[in-house]
A and B are shown apart, each in its own frame.
Chain A
Protein backbone atom coordinates (compact mmCIF):
# COMPACT_ATOMS: atom_id res chain seq x y z
CA UNK A 1 0.00 0.00 0.00
CA UNK A 2 2.80 2.38 1.00
CA UNK A 3 4.77 1.39 -2.09
CA UNK A 4 1.76 2.15 -4.26
CA UNK A 5 1.28 5.50 -2.51
CA UNK A 6 4.94 6.40 -2.92
CA UNK A 7 4.77 5.48 -6.58
CA UNK A 8 1.73 7.75 -7.04
CA UNK A 9 3.52 10.61 -5.29
CA UNK A 10 6.59 10.12 -7.45
CA UNK A 11 4.49 10.04 -10.61
CA UNK A 12 2.71 13.24 -9.54
CA UNK A 13 5.99 14.97 -8.71
CA UNK A 14 7.32 13.99 -12.12
CA UNK A 15 4.17 15.23 -13.82
CA UNK A 16 4.32 18.57 -11.97
CA UNK A 17 8.03 18.93 -12.78
CA UNK A 18 7.28 18.34 -16.47
CA UNK A 19 4.50 20.94 -16.32
CA UNK A 20 6.88 23.43 -14.68
CA UNK A 21 9.57 22.80 -17.30
CA UNK A 22 7.27 23.32 -20.28
CA UNK A 23 7.85 26.73 -21.84
CA UNK A 24 4.69 28.76 -22.23
CA UNK A 25 4.11 29.86 -25.81
CA UNK A 26 2.80 33.41 -25.89
CA UNK A 27 0.95 34.40 -29.10
CA UNK A 28 2.69 37.21 -30.96
CA UNK A 29 -0.49 39.31 -31.10
CA UNK A 30 -0.83 39.19 -27.30
CA UNK A 31 2.77 40.41 -26.92
CA UNK A 32 2.00 43.23 -29.38
CA UNK A 33 -1.17 44.23 -27.52
CA UNK A 34 0.70 44.35 -24.21
CA UNK A 35 3.52 46.43 -25.68
CA UNK A 36 1.00 48.76 -27.32
CA UNK A 37 -0.64 49.28 -23.90
CA UNK A 38 2.78 50.07 -22.46
CA UNK A 39 3.38 52.70 -25.16
CA UNK A 40 0.00 54.35 -24.48
CA UNK A 41 0.77 54.54 -20.75
CA UNK A 42 4.27 55.90 -21.50
CA UNK A 43 2.84 58.52 -23.88
CA UNK A 44 0.39 59.66 -21.20
CA UNK A 45 3.27 59.85 -18.70
CA UNK A 46 5.37 61.94 -21.11
CA UNK A 47 2.47 64.34 -21.65
CA UNK A 48 1.92 64.68 -17.89
CA UNK A 49 5.62 65.39 -17.33
CA UNK A 50 5.62 68.04 -20.08
CA UNK A 51 2.64 69.84 -18.56
CA UNK A 52 4.32 70.08 -15.15
CA UNK A 53 6.71 72.98 -14.26
CA UNK A 54 10.33 72.04 -14.82
CA UNK A 55 11.53 70.93 -11.41
CA UNK A 56 15.02 70.39 -12.76
CA UNK A 57 15.84 74.15 -12.81
CA UNK A 58 15.92 74.08 -8.99
CA UNK A 59 17.17 77.31 -7.43
CA UNK A 60 15.39 79.90 -9.63
CA UNK A 61 12.16 77.90 -9.63
CA UNK A 62 12.20 77.94 -5.80
CA UNK A 63 12.94 81.70 -5.70
CA UNK A 64 10.18 82.41 -8.19
CA UNK A 65 7.68 80.33 -6.24
CA UNK A 66 8.74 81.98 -2.93
CA UNK A 67 8.05 85.53 -4.10
CA UNK A 68 4.70 84.70 -5.64
CA UNK A 69 5.43 83.64 -9.20
CA UNK A 70 5.41 85.73 -12.39
CA UNK A 71 2.71 88.25 -11.22
CA UNK A 72 5.03 89.24 -8.35
CA UNK A 73 7.91 89.68 -10.84
CA UNK A 74 5.66 92.05 -12.89
CA UNK A 75 4.92 94.10 -9.73
CA UNK A 76 8.62 94.32 -8.88
CA UNK A 77 9.46 95.44 -12.42
CA UNK A 78 6.79 98.22 -12.26
CA UNK A 79 8.11 99.43 -8.92
CA UNK A 80 11.68 99.46 -10.27
CA UNK A 81 10.72 101.48 -13.35
CA UNK A 82 8.76 103.94 -11.15
CA UNK A 83 11.79 104.32 -8.87
CA UNK A 84 14.11 105.02 -11.79
CA UNK A 85 11.62 107.55 -13.16
CA UNK A 86 11.32 109.36 -9.82
CA UNK A 87 15.13 109.40 -9.59
CA UNK A 88 15.47 111.12 -12.95
CA UNK A 89 12.66 113.65 -12.61
CA UNK A 90 11.75 114.20 -8.95
CA UNK A 91 9.09 116.67 -7.85
CA UNK A 92 10.44 120.09 -6.83
CA UNK A 93 9.87 119.52 -3.05
CA UNK A 94 11.74 116.20 -3.10
CA UNK A 95 14.50 117.86 -5.13
CA UNK A 96 14.90 120.66 -2.54
CA UNK A 97 15.05 118.30 0.41
CA UNK A 98 17.41 115.95 -1.40
CA UNK A 99 19.74 118.82 -2.38
CA UNK A 100 19.87 120.12 1.18
CA UNK A 101 20.54 116.66 2.52
CA UNK A 102 23.24 115.83 0.02
CA UNK A 103 25.08 119.22 0.10
CA UNK A 104 24.71 119.49 3.91
CA UNK A 105 23.92 123.26 3.77
CA UNK A 106 20.54 122.96 5.48
CA UNK A 107 19.57 121.06 8.56
CA UNK A 108 16.31 119.17 8.50
CA UNK A 109 14.48 117.99 11.58
CA UNK A 110 11.91 115.19 11.88
CA UNK A 111 9.19 117.83 11.78
CA UNK A 112 10.18 118.83 8.27
CA UNK A 113 9.41 115.39 7.02
CA UNK A 114 6.38 114.78 9.28
CA UNK A 115 4.76 118.16 10.12
CA UNK A 116 1.78 116.53 11.79
CA UNK A 117 3.83 115.34 14.79
CA UNK A 118 5.59 118.66 15.31
CA UNK A 119 3.25 119.75 18.13
CA UNK A 120 3.58 116.40 19.82
CA UNK A 121 7.39 116.66 19.77
CA UNK A 122 7.37 120.18 21.21
CA UNK A 123 5.04 119.28 24.10
CA UNK A 124 6.98 116.10 24.90
Chain B
Protein backbone atom coordinates (compact mmCIF):
# COMPACT_ATOMS: atom_id res chain seq x y z
CA UNK B 1 0.00 0.00 0.00
CA UNK B 2 1.51 3.42 -0.93
CA UNK B 3 2.63 5.24 2.19
CA UNK B 4 0.81 8.51 1.40
CA UNK B 5 -2.47 6.62 0.87
CA UNK B 6 -2.41 5.08 4.33
CA UNK B 7 -4.09 7.96 6.14
CA UNK B 8 -7.08 7.65 3.79
CA UNK B 9 -7.67 4.00 4.65
CA UNK B 10 -10.06 2.75 7.34
CA UNK B 11 -8.68 1.11 10.47
CA UNK B 12 -10.08 -2.18 9.26
CA UNK B 13 -8.42 -2.05 5.84
CA UNK B 14 -5.11 -1.16 7.48
CA UNK B 15 -5.44 -4.08 9.89
CA UNK B 16 -6.17 -6.50 7.04
CA UNK B 17 -3.19 -5.10 5.11
CA UNK B 18 -0.97 -5.64 8.14
CA UNK B 19 -2.30 -9.20 8.46
CA UNK B 20 -0.96 -9.75 4.93
CA UNK B 21 2.47 -8.45 5.92
CA UNK B 22 2.23 -4.68 5.27
CA UNK B 23 4.38 -3.16 8.03
CA UNK B 24 3.62 0.45 7.02
CA UNK B 25 -0.05 -0.25 7.84
CA UNK B 26 0.98 -1.13 11.41
CA UNK B 27 2.86 2.15 11.72
CA UNK B 28 -0.25 4.11 10.70
CA UNK B 29 -2.48 2.10 13.06
CA UNK B 30 -0.03 2.69 15.91
CA UNK B 31 -0.14 6.42 15.24
CA UNK B 32 -3.96 6.46 15.15
CA UNK B 33 -4.91 4.07 17.91
CA UNK B 34 -2.23 4.31 20.59
CA UNK B 35 -3.33 7.75 21.90
CA UNK B 36 -6.93 6.51 22.26
CA UNK B 37 -5.86 3.36 24.09
CA UNK B 38 -3.38 5.12 26.35
CA UNK B 39 -5.85 7.92 27.17
CA UNK B 40 -8.59 5.47 28.12
CA UNK B 41 -6.26 3.19 30.10
CA UNK B 42 -4.82 6.17 31.99
CA UNK B 43 -8.30 7.39 32.92
CA UNK B 44 -9.24 3.92 34.09
CA UNK B 45 -6.09 2.95 35.97
CA UNK B 46 -4.81 6.36 37.14
CA UNK B 47 -1.32 4.93 36.83
CA UNK B 48 0.88 5.94 33.93
CA UNK B 49 3.22 2.92 33.92
CA UNK B 50 0.36 0.43 34.16
CA UNK B 51 -1.57 2.27 31.44
CA UNK B 52 1.47 2.02 29.13
CA UNK B 53 1.76 -1.73 29.83
CA UNK B 54 -1.93 -2.23 29.07
CA UNK B 55 -1.59 -0.18 25.88
CA UNK B 56 1.33 -2.27 24.62
CA UNK B 57 -0.46 -5.50 25.55
CA UNK B 58 -3.70 -4.46 23.82
CA UNK B 59 -1.87 -3.41 20.65
CA UNK B 60 0.08 -6.68 20.61
CA UNK B 61 -3.21 -8.59 20.81
CA UNK B 62 -4.47 -6.51 17.87
CA UNK B 63 -1.41 -7.41 15.78
CA UNK B 64 -1.90 -11.09 16.58
CA UNK B 65 -5.54 -11.18 15.42
CA UNK B 66 -4.83 -9.22 12.24
CA UNK B 67 -4.44 -12.25 9.94
CA UNK B 68 -7.74 -13.73 11.13
CA UNK B 69 -9.70 -10.45 11.20
CA UNK B 70 -13.18 -10.89 9.72
CA UNK B 71 -14.10 -7.72 7.91
CA UNK B 72 -17.47 -6.11 8.54
CA UNK B 73 -18.08 -7.79 11.90
CA UNK B 74 -16.74 -5.25 14.41
CA UNK B 75 -15.03 -1.87 14.40
CA UNK B 76 -11.35 -2.10 15.23
CA UNK B 77 -11.74 0.59 17.93
CA UNK B 78 -14.67 -1.27 19.52
CA UNK B 79 -12.60 -4.47 19.68
CA UNK B 80 -9.66 -2.56 21.10
CA UNK B 81 -11.65 -0.67 23.76
CA UNK B 82 -13.16 -3.97 24.82
CA UNK B 83 -9.72 -5.56 25.22
CA UNK B 84 -8.47 -2.52 27.16
CA UNK B 85 -11.57 -2.57 29.39
CA UNK B 86 -10.92 -6.22 30.26
CA UNK B 87 -7.20 -5.68 30.83
CA UNK B 88 -7.90 -2.68 33.10
CA UNK B 89 -10.55 -4.62 35.04
CA UNK B 90 -8.04 -7.44 35.64
CA UNK B 91 -5.40 -5.00 36.87
CA UNK B 92 -7.82 -3.11 39.12
CA UNK B 93 -9.00 -6.39 40.62
CA UNK B 94 -5.42 -7.47 41.37
CA UNK B 95 -4.63 -4.04 42.80
CA UNK B 96 -7.63 -4.25 45.14
CA UNK B 97 -6.46 -7.66 46.29
CA UNK B 98 -2.93 -6.39 46.97
CA UNK B 99 -3.78 -3.23 48.90
CA UNK B 100 -7.34 -2.16 49.29
CA UNK B 101 -6.43 1.06 51.14
CA UNK B 102 -3.86 2.34 48.70
CA UNK B 103 -5.17 5.55 47.16
CA UNK B 104 -2.91 7.07 44.57
CA UNK B 105 -2.55 10.73 43.82
CA UNK B 106 -4.12 11.64 40.52
CA UNK B 107 -1.58 11.03 37.81
CA UNK B 108 -2.17 12.85 34.59
CA UNK B 109 1.24 12.75 32.92
CA UNK B 110 0.07 11.22 29.66
CA UNK B 111 -2.66 13.80 29.38
CA UNK B 112 -0.71 16.96 30.16
CA UNK B 113 -0.52 19.73 27.59
CA UNK B 114 -0.08 23.44 27.95
CA UNK B 115 -2.98 24.65 30.10
CA UNK B 116 -3.51 27.31 32.67
CA UNK B 117 -2.85 26.33 36.29
CA UNK B 118 -6.57 26.58 37.06
CA UNK B 119 -7.47 24.31 34.15
CA UNK B 120 -4.81 21.81 35.19
CA UNK B 121 -6.16 21.75 38.73
CA UNK B 122 -9.68 21.27 37.46
CA UNK B 123 -8.60 18.42 35.19
CA UNK B 124 -6.73 16.82 38.08
CA UNK B 125 -9.88 17.16 40.20
CA UNK B 126 -11.93 15.53 37.42
CA UNK B 127 -9.47 12.65 37.23
CA UNK B 128 -9.58 12.24 41.02
CA UNK B 129 -13.39 12.34 40.98
CA UNK B 130 -13.47 9.71 38.23
CA UNK B 131 -11.45 7.39 40.48
CA UNK B 132 -14.17 7.67 43.13
CA UNK B 133 -16.82 6.29 40.77
CA UNK B 134 -17.64 2.59 40.71
CA UNK B 135 -15.60 0.94 37.96
CA UNK B 136 -18.48 0.32 35.52
CA UNK B 137 -19.74 3.91 35.87
CA UNK B 138 -16.21 5.16 35.27
CA UNK B 139 -15.85 3.02 32.12
CA UNK B 140 -19.17 4.30 30.75
CA UNK B 141 -18.51 7.98 31.55
CA UNK B 142 -14.96 7.95 30.16
CA UNK B 143 -15.97 6.13 26.98
CA UNK B 144 -19.03 8.33 26.38
CA UNK B 145 -17.90 11.76 27.49
CA UNK B 146 -14.12 11.75 27.06
CA UNK B 147 -13.42 9.19 24.34
CA UNK B 148 -16.60 10.20 22.48
CA UNK B 149 -17.77 6.64 21.82
CA UNK B 150 -21.46 6.19 20.86
CA UNK B 151 -23.80 4.35 23.25
CA UNK B 152 -24.40 1.28 21.02
CA UNK B 153 -20.63 0.84 20.70
CA UNK B 154 -20.17 1.20 24.47
CA UNK B 155 -22.87 -1.44 24.93
CA UNK B 156 -20.78 -3.82 22.79
CA UNK B 157 -17.56 -2.91 24.58
CA UNK B 158 -19.07 -3.43 28.04
CA UNK B 159 -21.32 -6.32 26.97
CA UNK B 160 -24.49 -4.68 28.31
CA UNK B 161 -27.67 -3.18 26.83
CA UNK B 162 -27.84 0.37 25.51
CA UNK B 163 -30.33 1.20 28.29
CA UNK B 164 -27.79 0.00 30.86
CA UNK B 165 -25.15 2.25 29.26
CA UNK B 166 -27.51 5.24 29.47
CA UNK B 167 -28.24 4.46 33.10
CA UNK B 168 -24.54 4.06 33.98
CA UNK B 169 -23.49 7.30 32.28
CA UNK B 170 -26.38 9.26 33.86
CA UNK B 171 -25.60 7.95 37.35
CA UNK B 172 -21.88 8.46 36.78
CA UNK B 173 -22.35 12.08 35.76
CA UNK B 174 -24.63 12.77 38.74
CA UNK B 175 -22.03 11.28 41.07
CA UNK B 176 -19.22 13.28 39.44
CA UNK B 177 -21.21 16.51 39.76
CA UNK B 178 -21.84 15.76 43.43
CA UNK B 179 -18.14 15.04 44.10
CA UNK B 180 -17.00 18.19 42.28
CA UNK B 181 -19.71 20.33 43.89
CA UNK B 182 -17.85 20.03 47.18
CA UNK B 183 -14.77 21.51 45.53
CA UNK B 184 -16.34 24.46 43.74
CA UNK B 185 -14.55 27.08 45.79
CA UNK B 186 -11.25 25.19 45.71
CA UNK B 187 -11.42 24.96 41.93
CA UNK B 188 -12.38 28.60 41.44
CA UNK B 189 -15.94 28.00 40.21
CA UNK B 190 -17.46 30.36 42.80
CA UNK B 191 -16.28 33.40 40.85
CA UNK B 192 -17.73 32.22 37.51
Contacts and interface: CB of A to CB of B under 8 A. Distances in A.
Contact of B110 (A9, A24, A33, A38): A24
B52 A30 contact: yes
Please classify how large the interface on chain A is, using the bins under 10, 10 to 19, 20 to 34, 35 or more.
Answer: 20 to 34
Given A11-B189, A24-B35, A41-B60, A31 B123 contact: no
Name, among A18, A19, A31, the residue most crowded by chain B CB atoms within 10 Å (CB to CB).
Answer: A19
A20 B146 CA distance: 4
A22 B146 CA distance: 9
B110 A19 contact: no
Interface string B131-165: 00000000001000111100000000000000000
Name the prevailing secondary structure of the B interface residues.
helix
A37 to B, nearest CB: 5
B23 A15 contact: no
Interface residues of B, number: 45
Contacts of A35: 26-27, 30
Interface of B: 18-19, 21, 23, 26-27, 30-31, 34-36, 38-39, 42, 52, 55-56, 59-60, 63-64, 66-67, 110-113, 115, 119, 122-123, 126, 141, 145-148, 173, 176-177, 180-181, 184, 189, 192
21 contacts: A9-B173, A11-B189, A11-B192, A12-B176, A15-B122, A19-B123, A24-B38, A25-B111, A26-B35, A26-B110, A30-B38, A30-B55, A33-B56, A34-B56, A34-B59, A37-B59, A41-B63, A41-B66, A45-B19, A45-B21, A49-B21
